[in-house]
Amino acid sequence: MPSLTAAQLHKLKRWNTPSIANALEQVSRADPLDIVNRDETHDFMPELGPMVGYAMTVVISGGDPRPKQEHPDNFDRYREYLASMPGPKIVVVQDLDRPSCHGSIWGEVGAVTARALGCVGTITDGAIRDLDEMKAAGFQAIARRLAVSHAHCWPLRWGGEVEVFGTKVRPGQLIHADKHGFILIPRDGQRRLLEAARFMDDNECDTVIPAGTATAGLSTAEILAGMQAAGARFGSNTRRKFGRTGEWK
């Protein structure tokens, strides 16, 4: 599953998720619409910054007590699954009760346990609770909403494809996520991703950002002309580096 080193994964956390999206456009052939969340997410711990990890997938339900009664061992088996792969890992949870989300599978105990098993956070289209306690455990959460009770939440199945926030996620996919949402990092873009993130940031800082900020004393026509020229330089630089024009909007 892991294809990048621990150091490379740590370095990816220095960039926000939109910057990673910009970089991937230069080094991956994936359609941007297929690798990002299509529905709005909520990062309940934005001060913790981005999280990076490999997807561990699970499907849950919280509105029906029968799964717990019929499959009492599921939670133990689900935790064994979480422990079966090396980290860092992000638990991606599809809640079959969305958008109602009768309860939360996450809380202080669940966060501490998952953290002990090498998981750094969760992306769930359901709910979370014990927000301060989860944060104290260093377990990040992107979710649909907060909840008071765990209700009847129970893992139904795991290790297969899930759909969260309008996007399909498979086990083992590398994810970068923050307050803006999440992006799935395709294998064809992983090797040069850090290089591309650094380059695209430098390229913006050297071209289009100064053109939009160093405008004192310039007329509107001069500002527009400067932005056009800077955009051309930005595209030329990107094309020489990656063979693509790039976007700076």
The dihedral built from the CA positions of residue 132, 136, 137 and 138, taken in this order, carries a sign that is positive
Superfamily of structural domain 6-190: Ribonuclease E inhibitor RraA/RraA-like (3.50.30.40)
Is the backbone peptide bond immediately before 99 cis, with ω within 30 degrees of 0? yes
pLDDT of residue 248: 46
Q: Helices 17-27 and 220-242 sit at what angle, rounded to 10 degrees?
A: 60
The mean per-residue pLDDT over the stretch 136-141 comes to 95
Q: With 60 as the cut, is the pLDDT of residue 245 above it? A: no
Residue from 80, 96, 238 nearest 164 by CA: 96
22-72: pLDDT as tens digits? 999 999 999 989 999 999 999 999 999 999 999 999 999 988 889 888 899
Q: Record the pTM.
A: 0.92
The dihedral built from the CA positions of residue 25, 27, 33 and 36, taken in this order, carries a sign that is negative
**234 near 204, Cβ under 8 Å?**
yes
85-136: pLDDT as tens digits? 998 999 999 999 888 778 899 999 999 999 999 999 999 999 999 999 999 9
Q: With 70 as the cut, is the pLDDT of residue 244 above it? A: no
187-214: pLDDT as tens digits? 999 999 999 999 999 999 999 999 999 8
pLDDT of residue 16: 96
**23 near 17, Cβ under 8 Å?**
no
